[in-house]
Amino acid sequence: MHNELKDMDSSSKNKLQKLGFQFWKPIGNTSKLSKDEEVFFLCNGNVLCIIPKQDISNSLNYETFFSSLSKALNSDKGYFKRVQNFSLFEEIRLILIFGSEGYREITNLKKSSATILFIESLEDIFKAKELKKKLWLSIKEFSSDS
């Protein structure tokens, strides 16, 4: 029966959908993102941001956000880049972990002398003005402009 649904023409499928039938797409390789995987961004060369991949894929505004974040931390430099390896701990002075999932391999991060801050998810920050303000206030002391 599965093959019959696969071969069904679109008009028949549309009629069945109007009657309330739901057709599921095979999972396959539609999404390779895992809630447990993180994305790493380096802002201005010394601020490491760790975000669950799911937050990045759900958010179209993350580039603007990180651009603003890096400029808030240092208006002269103001750059960010995605990184794969963050082994240069001596340069990192602040680690921002976004989302409730967080980065669970904290033991590696604790070897660093950097300050670690746990922040709400990007999605929550984008939705709530109060959370944005809380974030900016929490990182203000790390700004080289102040």
Phi/psi region, residue 99 (left: phi>0; alpha: psi -120 to 50; beta: rest), is left
Tens of pLDDT, residue by residue, the chain (146 residues)? 445 555 566 778 778 777 877 666 544 433 333 344 778 888 888 888 888 877 776 666 777 888 888 888 876 777 888 887 666 556 788 888 888 554 555 545 666 678 888 888 888 888 888 988 888 888 887 776 54
Entry pTM: 0.64
Rounded Cα distance between 130 and 109, Å, is 28
